[in-house]
Structure 1
């Protein structure tokens, strides 16, 4: 592939790691963010110490404060911003772009209030004349490992396979590999909903439960993620792939996961507001729990783990009460679909 110009919107941990992947592949990478000190740090010192204390970025990676400069003449735009601001940033992109680009996003969540998937938000805000079909870049990945070039395999999902293949080629190299997928609904819902289960898995660890409980919440969590996703139109096979069970394993078992760490601290008795303040990064699983709970109610989907976590975060229930409720609920067949 010839050298491409790519704007990466969002200089967080994952945006920074993906910028390095793209730079390693010989592309021109422009990072845009709204914290001037962070942009200056990347340009002057080639570091982003808020997320990576010991990593020095290639000086070829440039950071921008002005969106118009970052988007000038680019071939592709990758949005890696928190769910709650995706629509706002998409509007800014639409107002600034003056040519058609490939639009990708690598964020994981569902829009609060509207319950919409992020690709839908992008489709609504960026006119079709200015963008390709949206490509979702998602799968089992910790930025802390990708930034040191550890082996990572994820998915590029789009309704248009040619565009997905472009993104596959854009990113793939000897340590970072993408597989194409045409199930956008499945890949996006899997990436969003696994954060809820990761919070629950962390809480069990914080309470002192062992591997049996860990396996149980991951397996049963995948079941209810699949139930909701299929009800929304996803292919059930997607949930047995990288963006489904793969992402659930990596997020639900690792200290690198901010959602797992948040759950672990909840299990140890810490207050949610203190956890969110000290984390320094968005804990998407917290807001996604509310969205998924409301969607499950709306669509009539049985999601007991999500409901239990919702009761803890939003209704003041203790984690012990929530676990007791699940363990004493009516008996069911394992493969019951509803």
Structure 2
């Protein structure tokens, strides 16, 4: 009997638990909320984070880390990026050895400004490092949970391990490409949430599709510059973990980050927007980290700078738009100077 462990009770964690069940695994889903555990186990639903989806009876929710991990052939970490370190500290001596560990969290940690790979490598014993992989790409939880087609990328240092993940999780409706570019895949998955907030705000202000297309285009340039500064291959950002995830998150009606931006563009205060849903929009906290990391590395990221200013410094969306449009003119492919 094959077993998979999924750490995370949110929509994406639940969707990946469903994916594992589709693949024939018995799934232990670790959750923090007692009401979620009860609902998953009794009603086979997660109405708090993934309403309207009937879950496989192969999924068993638990609040016990050791029970969740025991005997697992693959471990998926699907907790919000700002909580990944605290979760890993609790389970680092419980993790099974010699099995793939798939990090599905997208973000850059506040304070340390570390990617999720850097967090995991810093906290986990070395014996786990070869088994670390990172999943990213255009994939909405509700669609994946219903078995609708999606394509994603899994990155890892070991070809053998990332190929194993491709085989263990891939299916005709969930196509997985592999990559050795751990940094590029992560930067794409993290920063696209920040750009999606900008695009949503643009729509909320009624600026039109042309402006949104421009933000996506220049947003990709910012993502690529930061990824390259961290050592990534720029071509990675032309794949699913880059432009693919960016386009979906910026344009899809199911995008939490886009919805946050849209509400801000309509003049709603951030506290009200965030308080209206239990789901986390990763871009809100990541915006602060992206701005600080860009400054540290000397990378020009004007869109991300303005998003951080609006979210965390009380700046207005209208002022941010004006600042971006009135920047000095230059060649499109010219490497910009740090602002």
Please classify the TM superposition score into its range, dividing by the shorter chain length. over 0.9
Select the residue among 307, 311, 315 that pairs with 1:309: 307
Instruction: Show CA shifts across 1:135-183 (max 9, x none).
Output: 0011001101111111100001001111000110011111111000000
Q: Given the alignment of the two structures, is residue 277 of structure 1 paired with residue 314 of structure 2, yes or no?
A: no
Measured after TM superposition, the shift of residue 315 of structure 1 is 2.0
Contact 1:102 1:131 in 2 (8 A): no
Q: Given the alignment of the two structures, is residue 60 of structure 1 paired with residue 58 of structure 2, yes or no?
A: yes
Measured after TM superposition, the shift of residue 99 of structure 1 is 3.8
Measured after TM superposition, the shift of residue 318 of structure 1 is 1.2
Select the residue among 234, 237, 240 that pairs with 2:238: 240
Contact 1:7 1:78 in 2 (8 A): yes
Q: 2:3 corresponds to which residue?
A: 5
Select the residue among 182, 189, 193 that pairs with 1:195: 193
Aligned pairs for 1:129-144 (under 5 A) are 129-130=127-128, 132-144=130-142
SS in 2 for 1:16: helix
Aligned pairs for 1:289-308 (under 5 A) are 289-308=287-306
Q: 2:330 corresponds to which residue?
A: 332
Select the residue among 200, 220, 223 that pairs with 1:222: 220
Give, in whole Å, the separation in 1 of the partners of 2:239 and 2:139: 13
Q: Given the alignment of the two structures, is residue 259 of structure 1 paired with residue 257 of structure 2, yes or no?
A: yes
Instruction: Show CA shifts across 1:39-80 (max 9, x none).
Output: 111111111011232211111111111111111111221100
Q: 1:96 corresponds to which residue?
A: 94
Give, in whole Å, the separation in 1 of the partners of 2:168 and 2:199: 34
Q: 1:209 corresponds to which residue?
A: 207
Pair 1:229–1:306, CA change in 2 (3 A): same
Give, in whole Å, the separation in 2 of the partners of 1:32 and 1:162: 27
Measured after TM superposition, the shift of residue 98 of structure 1 is 5.6
Pair 1:99–1:232, CA change in 2 (3 A): closer
Contact 1:7 1:30 in 2 (8 A): yes
Give, in whole Å, the separation in 2 of the partners of 1:20 and 1:267: 35
Q: RMSD across aligned C-alpha pairs, in angstroms? A: 1.2
When structure 1 is superposed on structure 2, of 308-317 and 236-245 the one drifting more is 308-317
Measured after TM superposition, the shift of residue 95 of structure 1 is 2.9
When structure 1 is superposed on structure 2, of 182-191 and 38-47 the one drifting more is 38-47
Give, in whole Å, the separation in 2 of the partners of 1:307 and 1:50: 33
SS in 1 for 2:21: helix
Q: Given the alignment of the two structures, is residue 319 of structure 1 paired with residue 317 of structure 2, yes or no?
A: yes
Measured after TM superposition, the shift of residue 130 of structure 1 is 4.4
Give, in whole Å, the separation in 2 of the partners of 1:178 and 1:50: 28
Measured after TM superposition, the shift of residue 97 of structure 1 is 3.1
SS in 2 for 1:96: coil
Give TM-score scaled by structure 1 length.
0.97
Contact 1:227 1:337 in 2 (8 A): no
Pair 1:169–1:290, CA change in 2 (3 A): same
Give, in whole Å, the separation in 2 of the partners of 1:39 and 1:140: 28
**Structure 1 residue ranges, 4+ long, deviating more than 6 angstroms after superposition:** none
When structure 1 is superposed on structure 2, of 259-268 and 43-52 the one drifting more is 43-52
Q: Structure 1 stretches of 5 or more lacking a match?
A: none
